[in-house]
Amino acid sequence: MGTTNMKTYNTLSEAVNDLSKRGYTYNFNLKKDCVECVEKKIDLRPDEFEIDEAHRFEGMTDPGDSNILYAISSHNHKLKGLLVNAYGVYADTHTSEMVAKLKIHHS
């Protein structure tokens, strides 16, 4: 089926609200070589999580001020949550494995 059934959202807050209702309730932070589940204090390496959806939002006044919302799940840790990242910010500061994992979903 692919991503053709993925919902389209007008705003970041609309996407966060809907994905939260769909079970993506944890918050993730991007680190150099992993994503961190804030509430559980668990670090997930790229091979320990999947990106189920990615949604890009342009800044209202500055198109360069873009964010990407990732819906992330980890079957091993039974976690589903959200990561908001500024578009392109990770490029120089993260491992190639992390960059590859994130880029696949919004190219």
Domain range for 77 is 2-103
The CA-CA-CA angle for residues 41, 16, 22, to 5°, reads 85
The predicted structure's pLDDT at residue 9: 94
Q: Rounded to whole angstroms, what are the CA distances from 52 to 9, 76, 101?
A: 15, 15, 12
**Domain count for the chain:** 1
What confidence category does residue 107 fall into, taking pLDDT thresholds of 50, 70 and 90?
very low
pLDDT tens digits, 5-54 = 578 899 999 999 999 999 999 999 988 889 999 999 999 999 999 999 99
pTM: 0.80
pLDDT tens digits, 79-92 = 999 999 876 555 55
